[in-house]
Each structure stands twice: as structure tokens, then as C-alpha cells.
Amino acid sequence: MSKQFPADFLWGCATASYQVEGAAHAEGKGESIWDRFSHTPGKVKNNDTGDVACDHYHKWAEDIALMQELGLKGYRFSLAWPRIIPTGRGEINQRGLDFYNRLVDGLLEAGITPFATLYHWDLPQALQDRGGWPSRDTAQAFAEYASVCYEALGDRLQNWITLNEPWVVADLGYREGIFAPGHQSVPETLAAAHHLHLASGWAVQAFRESGQAGKIGITLNLAPIQPLTDSEADAGAADRYDQWLNRWWLDPIFRGAYPEGIHALLEAQMPEVREGDMQVANTPLDFLGLNYYFRQMAEQAPREFLDVKVSYGSGPKTAFGWEIYPEGYYEMMTRLAREYGVEDLYLTENGAAYNDVIAADGEVHDPERIAYLQAHLEQVGRAIQDGVPVRGYFLWSLMDNFEWAAGFSMRFGIVYSDYPTLRRIPKDSAKWYAEVMARDGVG
């Protein structure tokens, strides 16, 4: 299948601060919840930490040169809140801001459009100590931090993303507890979710008030949820989980209300929702960011959250165990246009982990990643042809990096990170992607 993309399509790669920067204590940076979590034995595979990671904090110029060589048109990265405001609120760390000043200037000089995510999970630990996302104050602190960023960088940086995957922040951080801060409480989860909605809405309002030029959106991780069997019970389970993973985010943002079905089930555990909160969540955005990796199967399971147990589908898997299901990408893109009227969609993450090695010839051959990307980009092309307003695609990830609870064991990069030497080695997929970008198409 051959698919052509519009000539102004923004081809890029994505990374996130804690996953690539390293320099965990450099130049006044404060501690984040991921610093604390990764240094707590047993939380991250092999007790890996992001202390050094890819050392992008020092190698940023080399990394921009690499992006330029590959022909990236866009680069999505995140700003580390504790680098900029070490205790979350109050005093600004100019040296932290200067790092992002250098990065943004360097990208612009290289002709690469920067997209900055304000929050990709590295909450200042000081704010966690005061309650974290389950506390409403954190949302207010986020809007203040966002304003600092607009003021410092907004004259050059004109594409902003408030939050990365708030579902993950709330669910994996406060319910399942497999990500920082590692709590396991449904009321905390629901409070975190609500305050993430407020944080994003207030940050968008602050952006409008700043008078800065540019666009702002949010990035959600969304996926089709399918019933495991054709039983009515599993159909109900799939619907409830769809309301949690997808609609708990989409409905407040685009319709100003939580989905009624599971809201009724969760009501007794909900935080205070004040008058006007849902309008804040409903603040109009300039674009939506979609992260897509896999679909999920749902089955009725009493004693589980929402009486649902989810699992991966039965198709082939990546090294992470994530099912390869490119059709789901098309399904989500078309659903966003059809059901939510999304007019500008950026695909802010998509990619695959494989157990890459440096071969005898010194190269890294990753045909499976190329096949994964090719299949997913074909679905993107198909969605564009069917009228979905997709504006750009950011591949996850530019280089192998700290993959959260999986540490360095999962390699998502199109560039291989040789951690002992910090050398970057473009994989076969990087060369393949360079061609895709150069000719605006796959196939």
C-alpha cells in the first residue's frame, strides 16, 4: 500500500525530559517524583534511574545535529518542571530555563519546529509532599509554572502541550501504583484525574491571557477497547473501560462532562467538583495530541476496578508484550474526528520496543520496528485520505531512553543509545524514517 502525506505534514520524533536528559542534580534542578521513585529499590527494573539517561542535557547540540541529519521537521520534548521551579512553586531557576532557551534556539536554527510538553510526569517532589495531583493546589501551581514557561520561551516556542497522558499519571501513578508516586487509592486517582483536567484547562487559559502567539493542546493515550468474548457481560466491561481510558478525558475536554455511566459507579469516591470546574476542563484547545500503541481487550471481572480486567489482544507482540494492532490507530483517529469534532490532530507518540543489538558490522538492524512503523503510518495515510485532519506525526522515540518502570530494558529509539559510552548509533529504522520524511510518504 502506498500512502502520500500532505507536503506540510510535520514529521518528527518525541522524547521526554526525565527519559533523556540525565543531569538529575545539575544547575539547581529540584528533585522530581521520578527521581524519588527510581531511587526507591524495587520500583524500576534493575533499579535503573534517570540520573544520567542519555545525558541529553549536555549533548543537546549533538542531538540537534543528528535530528537535522535525519531531516526531522518537528521535535517534541518536555520541560522538566523541577528544573524550572525546583520546589514546584515560587522561586525560578534561571539556569534550568537557560537549558531550554539553548535547546529551542538550537532547534529553530536547525529549521526544526519545537513542540514542548509542559508535564511529562516529573512532578516536583516538593509538590508531591504537599499532596501531589490529588491536591487541588497542584493544578494551580501547574498553571503558574506554565505561565513562567510562556513568558520565558513563548516568543520563540509556539507549540505547547499541557499534559502528557493524564490517564497514566492518575491510573498508573495513584491506582495501580506501578509509576511514581506509586500509590494505590481509587479516591486519590479520581482526585488526581480531576485536578489534571483543571491543570490543563487553567494552563490553556493562562496561555490565552499571556497574549503569546502559538497553539496549545493536550496529549492523551487512547485506544480501542474490545470485549474479550461476545458475551453481554464483556461488552459491558469494554464499554466501562472505554469510559475510563478514553472518555474520562475526551468527554470533559470536548463536552464539559464526565461520562455518566461509570461516573454513577464512582460518584461516592469522587473529589469535590466545584461549580465551574467542568467549564475549565472544557476550555477550547487548538489541537489534540494522540498517543497510540495498542488496543486492549476487556472482560467482566468482579473485584477489579470497574469490574473489568484488561489484557492485550492475541496478535503478534513487540518486545514489551504490547500487541501490534495498526487498525486500532485508524479507528481512534476517525473516532476523534467523528465523535469529538477534532479539527487539528497531532500524533504525538507511536513506536515500538525491540531487543536491539549492535551487530558485527557495527550497525543496528531493526526490521521489526520498520515493519511496525510502516504498518502504522499506512493507517495514518488512510485516515488522512478519509478526511481526518492529521497535521503531524512524532515517532516515539528519537533514541533509546529510560522507559519508566522498565528502566533501560526497553529500547524504543530509531537511534541506539549505547549507555556505557553515551554514543548514539542510528538504527536501520532511522535511515528508513529519513526517507519517509524526505518523500512525505510510505510504501
Q: Is 168 a binder of ligand FCB (CB under 6 A)? A: yes
Q: Please compute Rg for the chain using Cα positions.
A: 20
Residues 6+ apart with CB under 8 A from 330: 379, 380, 382, 383
Among 60, 167, 325, 404, binds ligand FCB (CB under 6 A): 404
Q: Give yes or no: 349 in active site.
A: yes
Q: Is 396 a binder of ligand FCB (CB under 6 A)? A: yes
Q: Is 412 a binder of ligand FCB (CB under 6 A)? A: yes
Instruction: Quote the cell numbers at residue 165.
Output: 497522558
Query: Helix, strand, or coil here: 347?
Result: strand
Closer to ligand FCB by Cβ: residue 117 or 159? 117
- Environment class of residue 215 by beta-carbon count within 10 Å: exposed (0-12), middle (13-18) or buried (19+)? middle
Say how far apart CA 75 and CA 66 lie, in whole Å: 12
Q: Is 16 a binder of ligand FCB (CB under 6 A)? A: yes
Planar angle of CA 145, 175, 410, nearest 5 degrees:
80
Q: Is 356 a binder of ligand FCB (CB under 6 A)? A: no
Beta-carbon count within 10 A of 61 CB: 12
Number of residues forming the site for ligand FCB (CB under 6 A): 12
CA–CA distance from 89 to each of 25, 142, 150, 169, 221 (Å)?
18, 8, 16, 20, 28
Q: Is 203 a binder of ligand FCB (CB under 6 A)? A: no
Say how far apart CA 83 and CA 42 lie, in whole Å: 26
Closer to ligand FCB by Cβ: residue 78 or 93? 78
The DSSP string of 180-204 is TT----HHHHHHHHHHHHHHHHHHH
Q: Is 165 a binder of ligand FCB (CB under 6 A)? A: yes
Stretch that binds ligand FCB, among 190-198, 297-305, 370-378, 396-404 (CB under 6 A): 396-404
Instruction: Quote the cell numbers at residue 311.
Output: 489484557
Question: Measured from the CB of residue 296, what is the shortest distance to ligand FCB in angstroms?
Answer: 13
Residue 296 φ/ψ region, left for φ over 0, alpha for ψ in the -120 to 50 degree band, beta for the rest: beta
Among 128, 159, 164, 379, binds ligand FCB (CB under 6 A): 164
Say how far apart CA 394 and CA 381 lie, in whole Å: 14
Closer to ligand FCB by Cβ: residue 407 or 441? 407
Site string for ligand FCB, 208-227 (x = CB under 6 A): -------------x------
Q: Is 81 a binder of ligand FCB (CB under 6 A)? A: no
Say how far apart CA 216 and CA 386 lie, in whole Å: 25
Q: Is 349 a binder of ligand FCB (CB under 6 A)? A: yes
List the one residue out of 184, 430, 191 whose CA is nearest residue 305: 184
Give the active site residue among 331, 349, 378, 403: 349
* 161 membership: H or E segment, kind and range: strand 159-164
Say how far apart CA 16 and CA 135 lie, in whole Å: 24
Question: Measured from the CB of residue 44, what is the shortest distance to ligand FCB in angstroms?
Answer: 13
List the one residue out of 155, 61, 175, 156 whose CA is nearest residue 104: 156
Q: Is 296 a binder of ligand FCB (CB under 6 A)? A: no
Closer to ligand FCB by Cβ: residue 159 or 348? 348
Q: Is 48 a binder of ligand FCB (CB under 6 A)? A: no
Query: Helix, strand, or coil here: 24?
Result: coil
Among 77, 403, 414, 442, binds ligand FCB (CB under 6 A): 403
Give the active site residue among 21, 31, 165, 323: 165
- By Cβ distance, which residue is nearest to ligand FCB? 16
Stretch that binds ligand FCB, among 126-134, 164-172, 202-210, 248-256 (CB under 6 A): 164-172
Residues in the chain: 443
What's the DSSP call for residue 307? G
Q: Is 400 a binder of ligand FCB (CB under 6 A)? A: no
Closer to ligand FCB by Cβ: residue 246 or 291? 291
The DSSP string of 214-229 is SEEEEEEE---EEESS
Say how far apart CA 198 and CA 159 lie, in whole Å: 20
Which residues in this chain contact ligand FCB in the complex, by CB under 6 A?
16, 19, 164-165, 168, 221, 291, 349, 396, 403-404, 412
Active centre residues (catalytic): 165, 349
